[in-house]
Structures are given as C-alpha cells and as structure tokens.
Amino acid sequence: MNRGEFEGLKLRFGEDLSAWPAPFQSEAVLFLTAHRHGPLSEDETLDRLVLAAAMERTDERALARKVMARIAQPKRRTFDLIFAVGSWSMPATAASMALVLTVSTLGGYITAGRRAEISDNALMAFAVGVSPSEIVETTSVTRSNGGRP
C-alpha cells in the first residue's frame, strides 16, 4: 500500500481504522507502522507482529504432521526411577495400599478390644461433660444392676 491508496481508503471508509473492513484495516496498520518515524508503542508492536503472522502463509498439513508426531512420542516422566517401572506398578501400588489399610484396621481393632471400657468411658464422659471417674462409678453401679458386662 502506498500513500495514495491509504488516502483513498481513508476517504472511502472514514478516519477510524477500526471501522474499516479487515483486509484493508490490516494493510493500513502495516502501512502506518512502516511509515512512522517515532518509536512504536508496545501495543502497536504487538499489533504489527500479529498482523504479520496472520498474513504469513502457513502449511496446515505440515503443522498437523508435527503435532501428530509430537503426540506419538513417548511421554517423558519428570522423576524417572532408577529401575524401569513396568505395567505392574499400578497393581503393586493398589495391593500395597490395601495391605496397609488391612494391617491398620486389624491393629486398630486389636488395640481397641483391649481398652474398650476405657474408650467407652472416656467418650461417655466427653459427651455428658463430666470427668471420666464419675462415669466409671456410674457404669459400675449399672453393671451390678444388670447392665452390660
């Protein structure tokens, strides 16, 4: 675009470049930025780069091939282990987690079975809002009257 074409388009579409049709608008912006004597602002520089990239010819098939090749590459792990982890890693992890859960549950039941009275008394005292010693006295009276052993 030259100065005469720009002036003709300015008469045809008006002073406001944003109201111009897209192809003429991009050419006008490129023309104005190319013939400007002062330094460009950041916005103008960005607009110029975007417009230049939009006008650049691209091969979509080549881009698609590059994307598909990138997708087909094996994924790299961030933290590789010393030994290669095969397909057994998920089942082994699930089995080890199940084992830990089972051992924890059994340990909790065994420990709670030994101290069931203490635990019940402490919970009851907490719920009622009294000291555990008062609950012990009350439960001993209840047991002698036919309460739970």
Domain ranges (residues) in the chain: 3-56, 114-149
Question: pTM here?
Answer: 0.28
CA separation, residue 145 to residues 26, 54, 97, 116, 149 (Å): 97, 92, 47, 20, 11
Length of the chain: 149
3-class DSSP state of 22:
helix
List, for the chain, all residue ranges whose pLDDT scores fall below the cut of 70.
36-40, 76-88, 113-119, 136, 138-149
C-alpha–C-alpha distance, residues 101 and 106, integer Å: 9
In what helix (H) or strand (E) does residue 83 lie, and over which residues does it extend? none
Residues 32-52 have pLDDT tens digits of: 777 766 666 788 778 778 877
What does DSSP assign to residue 38? S
C-alpha–C-alpha distance, residues 141 and 130, integer Å: 17
